[in-house]
């Protein structure tokens, strides 16, 4: 029992100290890729649509949407900045204008854009934190919706207005709703990070609880992938 308490103490302590990407990629112990199940195998590629969200560290946001039924794939990356290139090192300086983001490929016949918004606001991140999420601080961790067309823009703004009217949050929602200019795919070691590194202290403390929250709040769209 005492050992278990010590383990919890260590996880909580590290969870407060570590930040997204603070793990050296050369030291990551990964689950072999060929043991990982694909996010979705029963969707029609011709019917897929895209959504791009930013909500803090992309590790957890990516993992949440990988567990949503109807999502075919999720890629971590960078969006929202004027610079013509992006990398973790550059974006991490907070000077490029980019935000850590996820690109979601989904089948609208199985999950709607509005349902993705619901998961984004209620599970994937805290939309009231300005230029930060938990221990991760800076404009690269801001809350943002990068819309691809007018329908997504209207859906996002309507959803935020409804949340404000319902007073779901104590503090104001600070999520940006802006057009997507360019999405840059993040480095390979950031992709499927939670799948490959489920025991990483940052993941254990900050991101695994999001998956449990998704399962409890959205049982109809939740699907266990790994």
- 39-55 tens-digit pLDDT: 554 556 778 999 999 99
Of 23-27, 88-92, 111-115, 146-150, give the lowest mean pLDDT range: 23-27
- 54-96 tens-digit pLDDT: 999 999 999 999 999 999 999 999 999 998 889 999 999 988 9
Q: Which residues are catalytic?
A: 57
pLDDT cut 70: percent of the chain above it: 81
Would you say the pTM of this structure is higher than 0.95? no
Strand pairing of 176-179 and 143-147?
parallel
Residue 97 phi, psi (nearest 5): 90, -10
d(CA 80, CA 183): 8
Helix (H) or strand (E) holding 136: strand 136-137
> What domains are there in the chain, each with its CATH number?
47-198+208-217 (3.30.1060.10)
Residue 152 phi, psi (nearest 5): -70, -40
| pLDDT exceeds cutoff 80 at 8 | no
Whole-Å CA distances, 202 to 20, 44, 66, 207, 211:
7, 35, 18, 7, 14
d(CA 199, CA 13): 15
- 98-140 tens-digit pLDDT: 999 999 999 999 999 999 999 999 999 999 999 999 999 999 9
Give the pLDDT of residue 112: 97
């Amino acid at each position: 029992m005492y050992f278990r308490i010590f383990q919890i103490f260590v996880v909580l302590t590290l969870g407060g100290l570590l930040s997204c990407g603070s793990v050296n990629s050369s030291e990551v112990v990964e689950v072999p890729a060929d043991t990982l199940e694909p996010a979705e195998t029963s969707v029609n590629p011709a019917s897929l649509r895209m959504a791009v969200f930013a909500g803090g560290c992309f590790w957890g946001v990516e993992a949440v949407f990988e567990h949503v039924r109807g999502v075919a794939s999720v890629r971590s990356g960078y969006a929202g900045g004027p610079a013509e290139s992006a990398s973790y090192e550059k974006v991490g300086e907070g000077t490029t204008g980019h935000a850590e983001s996820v690109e979601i490929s989904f089948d609208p016949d199985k999950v709607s854009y509005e349902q993705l918004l619901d998961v984004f606001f209620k599970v994937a991140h805290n939309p009231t934190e300005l230029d930060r999420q938990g221990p991760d601080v800076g404009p690269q961790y801001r809350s943002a919706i990068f819309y691809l067309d007018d329908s997504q823009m209207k859906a996002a703004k309507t959803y935020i207005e409804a949340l404000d009217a319902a007073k779901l949050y104590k503090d104001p929602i600070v999520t940006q709703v802006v057009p997507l200019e360019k999405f840059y795919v993040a480095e390979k070691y950031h992709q499927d990070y939670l799948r490959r590194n489920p025991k990483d202290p940052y993941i254990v403390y900050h991101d695994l609880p999001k998956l449990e929250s998704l399962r409890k709040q959205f049982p109809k769209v939740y699907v266990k992938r790994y």
